[in-house]
């Protein structure tokens, strides 16, 4: 089964950087490649008519209106965006996003048939105190009664951009926990310090359907190695 591999460029890049990235990225895999540029470059990516799915890094919880700095699900649709990350820990932290707002975003995307990628993940003290299961239960609460397929990004906060990665059995356990609460048909991507050396083992895990790649996606050759490792 093909996996979902997302390049989350975060707030990095410029037109020249991305043009070079496109020429250096060679993909021979059958996996689904999603590119998530900063929102101001979504249209630039869209106009390139690339062979990869365009993914947004966030969306407004509102339909439209006086919400300065926001972009809505209809605007994403207008640009040809097919999927959208929501609830990323950096957005939760910087924009004070809460679970109920993330659920609103989820619904707005569903209404426009854009695939939401719902990010969740525990801080370090939760893992150290063996409370991961309760934490995941709470963070996914609003999705427990959803029968449709949902894509979750499991991204432990302490693993994002730190070079630290959970043990393979911890990743597998977290994925099983999400499925226990939300249903077996859910897809789980892993994110947090994925790179060319650790990707193969992580993507081999039975419960893992793909990866969210931050830092390592800025290097097109390394991102290609990750995309081709499974
Ligand atoms: P990282 O980021 O790969 O740089 O840890 C992953 C993410 O935040 O999606």
* Ligand 1: nearest atom to the Cα of 195: 3
* Residue range 184-209: mean pLDDT, rounded: 97
CA-proximal residue: ligand 1, atom 7 (nearest):
214
Residue 28: its pLDDT value, please?
87
Please, which residues have CB within 8 angstroms of residue 213's CB and are 6 or more apart in sequence? 5, 6, 7, 8, 191, 194, 223, 226
Q: Domain boundaries in the chain?
A: 4-227
Residue 36: its pLDDT value, please?
98
pLDDT digits over 128-139, tens only? 999 999 999 999
pLDDT digits over 55-81, tens only? 999 999 999 999 999 999 999 999 999
Residue 1: its pLDDT value, please?
76
Domain 4-227 annotated CATH 3.20.20.70: yes
Q: Model pTM greater than 0.85?
A: yes
Place of tokens 């700095």: 69
Q: What is the mean pLDDT of the chain?
A: 96
Q: What is d(CA 80, CA 104) in angstroms, rounded to the nearest whole number?
A: 21
Q: Which of 87, 154, 161, 219 to mutate to test the pocket of ligand 1 (most atoms within 8 A of CB)?
A: 161
CA-proximal residue: ligand 1, atom 1 (nearest):
214
User: What beta strand segments (E) does 80-222 contain?
Assistant: 83-86, 115-120, 151-154, 187-191, 210-213
């Amino acid at each position: 089964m093909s996996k979902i591999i997302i390049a989350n460029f975060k707030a990095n890049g410029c037109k020249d950087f991305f043009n070079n990235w496109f020429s250096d990225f060679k993909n021979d895999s059958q996996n689904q490649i999603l590119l998530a540029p900063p929102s101001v470059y979504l249209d630039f990516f869209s106009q390139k008519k690339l062979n990869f799915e365009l993914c947004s890094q966030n969306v407004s919880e509102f339909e439209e209106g006086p919400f300065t700095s926001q972009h809505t699900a209809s605007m994403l649709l207008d640009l040809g965006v097919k999927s959208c990350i929501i609830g990323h820990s950096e957005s939760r932290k910087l924009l004070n996003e809460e679970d109920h707002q993330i659920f609103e975003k989820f619904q707005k995307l569903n209404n426009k048939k854009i695939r939401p990628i719902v990010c969740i993940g525990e801080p370090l003290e939760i893992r150290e105190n063996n409370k991961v299961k309760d934490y995941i239960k709470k963070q996914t609460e609003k999705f427990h009664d959803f029968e449709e397929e949902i894509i979750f990004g499991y991204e432990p906060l302490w693993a994002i951009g730190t070079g630290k990665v959970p043990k393979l059995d911890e990743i597998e356990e977290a994925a099983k926990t999400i499925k226990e609460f939300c249903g077996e048909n859910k897809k789980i991507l892993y994110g947090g310090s994925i790179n060319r050396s650790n990707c193969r083992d992580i993507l081999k895990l039975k419960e893992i359907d793909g990866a969210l790649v931050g830092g390592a996606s800025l290097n097109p050759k390394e991102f290609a190695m990750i995309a081709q490792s499974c």
